[in-house]
Amino acid sequence: MELTKNNYLRGTGHGTEWHVTIEPPTRKVKTYFEETVDAMEKLYDTKTGKFQVLYSGGVDSQYICEVFLKLKMDFDTVIIRLISDTGEVYNQHDIAYAYEFCEKNNITPIIYDVNFDNFVESGKIVEIAESVNCCSFAIPATLHVADKLDGYSIIAGGDPYIKYNESKNIWLFEELEYAHSSLRYYAKNNLNGSPFILSYTPEMMLSFLLDPKIVKLGSGLVPGKTGSNSTKSHVYNNGSGFNIDVYDFVNLIRVKYTGYEKISYSPIMDHPNLKIFEEFNKKWNGEYEEPYYDVVKRLSINQ
């Protein structure tokens, strides 16, 4: 099973022993958009079942949907509604962007409702988390839904990330152990799809890191920036003709939502099955960091 192309991206260990191995591309890379197109066209020809994008409403899932629309590929959008016992939609503030995008593009989304309170109280959230050493309570529900789909399920995860370490005055490439729990779940349950579609190939990984905006960021030429999350929309727009930005439809800064903001302040957070994630965090919250220029140099050996 290939969750990334030839499984070039692999994580091992836990906590302080967490380590990530990344195989370099074997050819010269193009722009991130061009590499995305190449990868998705090849994947489209070999996949089993229809592309089904779990659309959170963020810029990452929007980018993947934009690519599929541009390539005129057949796909479904799947919007997960996290609902409380009283009927409140916990993540309405997040999926509003997904609804807006689908309406604008005449897409009828598949709506998948998850009673999150019951998901917690039943212990299902803990069962999934423990099965793949996941320390984030915001991941299991998405994996639960991915397991229920009948096509090629896509989670817009794996976007390369760099951050600034102020104490060392250096930009670092980062891979988090909890993010890789989705790869572990797909492998363990033999799911058809990829939860790391934004770095599906080594060419996509390196081309993202070599994008001019990311190079400028990693060179310390953008004062005030502390990470690449607010810059990646520029990478997605580079050469694609897309207009993905960090502003919402009322011209306010589009905050990077997780969909779990309301849950974090809801009574369900006091349930033992969520409190236990504090213990999981002590065991499975590994952070792999490598200086930005070191990882770029290492992955560029065939450029």
Q: What is the pLDDT of residues 199-256, one digit of tens each?
A: 999 999 999 999 999 999 999 999 889 999 989 999 999 999 999 875 544 444 555 5
Residue 48 has pLDDT above 80, yes or no: yes
User: What distances in angstroms separate CA 100 from CA 85, 230, 277, one per listed residue?
Assistant: 26, 21, 33
Per the structure block, which two tokens stand in for 268?
């369900």
Q: What is the pLDDT of residues 263-282, one digit of tens each?
A: 999 999 999 999 999 999 99
The pLDDT value given to residue 291: 97
Beta bridge partners of 152: 51
Q: Which residue has the higher pLDDT, 80 or 256?
A: 80
The pLDDT value given to residue 259: 87
pLDDT category of residue 80 using cuts at 50, 70 and 90 = very high
Per the structure block, which two tokens stand in for 275?
């409190």
Q: How many domains does the chain have?
A: 1
Q: What percent of the chain has pLDDT over 70?
A: 96
Question: Are the CB atoms for 57 and 102 separated by under 8 Å?
Answer: no
**Is the Cα torsion angle 146, 54, 57, 200 positive or negative in sign?**
positive
Q: What is the pLDDT of residues 174-195, one digit of tens each?
A: 999 999 999 999 999 999 999 9
Cα-Cα end-to-end distance for the chain: 28
| Domain at 134, CATH number | 3.40.50
Per the structure block, which two tokens stand in for 10?
């692999």
Q: What is the pLDDT of residues 83-100, one digit of tens each?
A: 999 999 999 988 998 999
The C-alpha atoms of residue 301 and residue 303 are separated, in whole angstroms, by 6
Question: Are the CB atoms for 95 and 57 separated by under 8 Å?
Answer: yes
Structural domain boundaries enclosing 94: 5-299
The pLDDT value given to residue 258: 81
Q: What is the pTM of this model?
A: 0.95
Residue 1 has pLDDT above 80, yes or no: no
Helix (H) or strand (E) holding 11: strand 9-12
Question: Are the CB atoms for 55 and 77 separated by under 8 Å?
Answer: yes
Question: Are the CB atoms for 32 and 228 separated by under 8 Å?
Answer: no
The pLDDT value given to residue 246: 56
The C-alpha atoms of residue 243 and residue 74 are separated, in whole angstroms, by 21
Cα dihedral 118, 276, 111, 103 in deg (nearest 10): 140
The residues, ordered by sequence, that sit 6+ positions from 303 with a Cβ below 8 Å of its Cβ are 25, 28, 29, 206
